Amino acid sequence: MASAEIPTVSLNNGTTIPQLGFGVYQVPPDETERAVLTAFEAGYRHIDTAQMYQNEAGVGRALRSSGLAREDVYITTKLNNDSHEPAVARAALEQSLRELDVDHVDLFLIHWPLPTRYGGDYVSTWRTLTELAAEGKAASVGVSNFHPEHLKRIVDETGIVPAINQIEVHPYLTNEEARLASGRLDVAVEAWSPIAQGAVLDDPVLVELAEKYGKTPAQVTLRWHIERGDIIFPKSVTPERVKENADIFDFSLTADEVNRITGLDKGEEGRTGPNPDTFDWIPGA
């Protein structure tokens, strides 16, 4: 599969991002280089990592050994939960750049809003990210796991709109309020846990559609995201699955089929990760 087959999404700052990427969440540091190289071989040119994952160095090694030009690979990383204070956030990004061995990242996100930490101040953290973007350390900056009220607050208080909001989205948690709030601000939505860590794959609707199209339930689910405009970055360390996850651009779902999958939403009951309103975990604390 050629990388040119992967569509791009235009962001509100004039840049673009590949709609399909490769996520390295929970990929062990010593396996990251191999996993990312496998993704590159399969045509992926968008890698999503985070300071919290502790595998940025492996992403950097893969980029160096791949022979790919830096400008041909889109790299996202995210601010660790222990680094929200402005000076610490600046130092954290500098460390990420060293780990990745690059002079800038394509996207830098606040990983979690942490409204119960730092005196509830994630606005100054956001302001710091916008300054880092202005200095050329990140081509785009955005947020992750921001509910509508979190988004509204940072935009109201800074006047600067994030390029992206990366949130949990899958058929069992369509997260419509956050998606719509992002859309109203022209903030692109990235969907993490796009197949709900596998929880949706036995759903009869997805199994039925997989049989119809000669695809797997995972491929149908990923195609559902593509049809709705989500940016996705499924994670796998199995080479066959990495290739399979990218083989979703030779079929389309009908509008009715997209709506059937959307109708599987279970609301909060379907959430696989923490709720951003209450999540306050600090690594090592």
Just list the catalytic residues. 53
Q: Is 114 left (phi over 0), alpha (psi -120 to 50) or beta?
A: left
Query: 60 with 99: CB under 8 angstroms?
Result: yes
Torsion, Cα 54 283 88 29, to 10 degrees, reads: 0
Q: Is 225 annotated as a binding residue?
A: no
Of 40, 23, 51, nearest in space to 190 by CA = 23
Calculate the CA 284 to chain-centre distance.
24
Structure tokens at 48: 């999503």
- What are the angstrom distances between the C-alpha of 137 and each of 21, 55, 80, 105, 120? 21, 19, 17, 7, 26
- What are the angstrom distances between the C-alpha of 195 and each of 65, 136, 166, 170, 221? 30, 34, 15, 6, 7
Residue 163 half-sphere exposure toward CB, CA atoms < 13 A: 23
Sign of the dihedral through C-alpha 77, 80, 86, 89: negative
Residue positions forming the annotated binding site: 111
Residue positions forming the annotated binding site for substrate: 111
